[in-house]
Structure 1
Amino acid sequence: MKTFKFTCGFTDYPVTVTYYQPAAIAEFEPQRRPLVILLPGGGYAFYSDRENEIMALQYLAQGFAVVVVAYRLIDQPPVLPGALYQLAGVVHEFHQHAGRYGISATHILLVGFSAGGHLAALYAGLWPRLAADLQVSAATLRVSALTLSYPVIGLRLGWPTDAAVASAIVGTWPQHEADQVVTAQNPPTFIWTTAEDELVPAENTRRFITALHQHGVPMVVTIYPHGPHGLSLARAVTAFPMSFKPAHPDFGERFIRPDVAEWFDQQLQWLAELWDLNTFWRRQ
């Protein structure tokens, strides 16, 4: 594996990314990898390490290339629409230079967690408009699939509770409710959350799947009955350690949910069918 950190994107909307490129398999000809564009959560205030490199490594182990996007946060308000144009710049970069990066531009999965899921979900509905705004071909801003983990969908649906935070995200941008910008051009979507999410209510996910259904967008949905917000892999490796809250050493146990941990493999199976990955790999 090689790792590169660089800045790309459109002139007025530069963005720093970290690109994880799998090592070549010596016996094979140069391969084109599917690409994951990864947006960690963090409430638009930071990038959660529990949804960052450790998630990238999960996809790398399956042969995917991964680019993690350091999109605009609320310390540079407003987040929107700048973060959307930054994300568009990343998609455009990898479309335009797919050969350089060794990826297949027709196999791009956009992945978002929590607030990163909000940005991903907005992009999934707005990419044709963004192409018009940026005066580029819409084909160069298309992603092939979308994965959302406990996403924020609408800022009216329980998060954030602080009006100042909402204002720092939205600014004057009117299209900030992802369920209200869904069209038939949204990519096939894998989405999951938990019914007990105390920070981003499951109503966010329910509103989004209703909109996807109304527009005939293929989807796979799971709302697990139990578990807090921010489960990540829902395994011990991404659970909070005892040292995180010494006064409450059992706090992290809530983030170990074997039933929820199945989401990642279920997503891989969905992608394998959606993209016919057996054929994709064998035709390299």
Structure 2
Amino acid sequence: MKTLNLTFGPPANPVAVTFYQPAAIADFDQPPRRPLAILLPGGGYRFYSDRENEIVAFQYLAQGYAVAVVAYRLLDQPPVYPLVLEQLAHVVAGFHQQAADYALDADHVLLVGFSAGGHVAALYADLWPQLAQRCQLPRQDCSVWAVTLAYPVIGLRLGWPVDAATRQAIAGKWALTEADHLVTAQNPPTFIWTTATDEFVPPINAQCYVKALRREGVPVRFHLYPRGPHALSLAQPVTAFAAGTHRDATFGQRYVQAEVAGWFTEQLRWLQRLW
């Protein structure tokens, strides 16, 4: 595997990307072109969660994907919008245009977003044709094959963030922040999951988005798991908080949920059926 540090976008609004390229398999006569997962970790627009970053990237790598982890715009450079969507448009288009260089299958680009990263991904899925025009990029180069959203923020009116100052710092003067209001028939197929007991991003976020997707006839697979805290990631020990990292010794156990952990495999099956 190669790990490359790449930069996309214009000098006024660059975005850093960590690209994980699987090694060629020596006994293949013709190396395959890999599907690409573009990963947007969560972190409340304040940081990039390590529990939704490289660890998740390796899960996709193990399934034959190349992976790009995007260090998208955060609240330390307000406002976040619309520049974060422009950054993502340049990332998607850049990999389309350099697919041969990186041995990618440009017809199978998967956009994966967690929590706040899910907000970016959902809005991008809604607005990609307009973003292509806005950024003066070829329309088809900005398209993605499918989207995976894990406990996503969908609208800034739906329970997160709870304070007006943070909402203003995220949105600025950009009015298009309610992803469920922007869905069209051009949205890509979407796999989405959350838990009924998410204490930070209420499940109404995911539910509103699913309803909008279904109304427009967009293929969607939705899982609402009955229990589990926000930011479960893979819901396995590898992404749980380790013992000793919290004053409550049992805190990390909440992030290991056997039922929820099935989401990753279920997503892969769903994607295979799309393929």
Aligned to 2:82: 81
Tell me which residue corresponds to 1:7: 7
SS of the residue corresponding to residue 5 of structure 2 reads: strand
1:95 counterpart residue number: 96
Work out the CA distance in 1 between the residues paired with 2:150 and 2:98: 28
Are 1:62 and 2:58 matched, yes or no? no
Contact 1:9 1:92 survives alignment (8 Å): no
1:230 matches 2:220: no
Which residue is equivalent to 1:271? Answer: 271
Deviations 1:181-204 (A, max 9, x none): 110000000000000000000000
Q: Secondary structure at the match of 1:261?
A: helix
Match of 2:162 in 1: 161
Matched residue SS, 1:93: helix
Unaligned runs of 5+ residues in structure 1 are 276-284
Q: Structure 2 counterpart of 1:143, which letter?
A: V
Kept after mapping to 2: 8 A contact 1:8/1:93: yes
Superimposed CA distance per residue, residues 44-87 of structure 1 (whole angstroms, 9 cap, x where no aligned partner): 00000000000000000001000000000000000000000000
Partners in 1 of 2:136 and 2:69 — Cα distance?
A: 25
In structure 2, the partner of 1:279 is none
Q: Following the alignment from structure 2 to structure 1, what is the Cα–Cα distance between the partners of residues 145 and 139?
A: 13
Q: Paired residue for 1:216?
A: 217
Instruction: Determine the C-alpha separation between the residues in 2 that align with 1:220 and 1:122.
Output: 18
Contact 1:189/1:219 (8 A) holds in 2: yes
Secondary structure of the 1:35 match is strand
Q: In the TM superposition, what are the counterparts of 1:109-258 in structure 2 within 5 Å?
A: 109-245=110-246, 247-258=247-258
Percent identity between the two aligned chains: 62
Tell me, in whole angstroms, the C-alpha distance in 1 between the residues paired with 2:16 and 2:230. 27
Name 1:282's counterpart in structure 2.
Answer: none
AA partner of residue 111 (structure 1): V
**1:192·1:222 contact (CA, 8 Å) conserved in 2?**
yes
**Is the Cα contact below 8 Å between 1:9 and 1:89 reproduced in 2?**
yes
Find the residue that maps to 2:244 and give its secondary structure: helix
Local SS of the residue matching 1:100: coil
8 Å CA contact retained: 1:242, 1:248:
no
Name the count of aligned residue pairs. 274
Q: 2:193, 2:9 → 1: CA distance?
A: 30
SS at match of 2:73: coil
Unaligned ranges ≥5, structure 2: none
Runs of 4+ in 1 over 3 A off after TM superposition: none
Q: RMSD across aligned C-alpha pairs, in angstroms? A: 0.7
Q: Distance in 2 between matches of 1:259 and 1:79?
A: 34
1:161-211 C-alpha deviation (Å, 9 max, x unpaired): 121111111000010111011100000000000000000000000100010
Deviation readout 1:127-165 (Å, 9 max, x if unpaired): 011011112221010000000000000000000012111
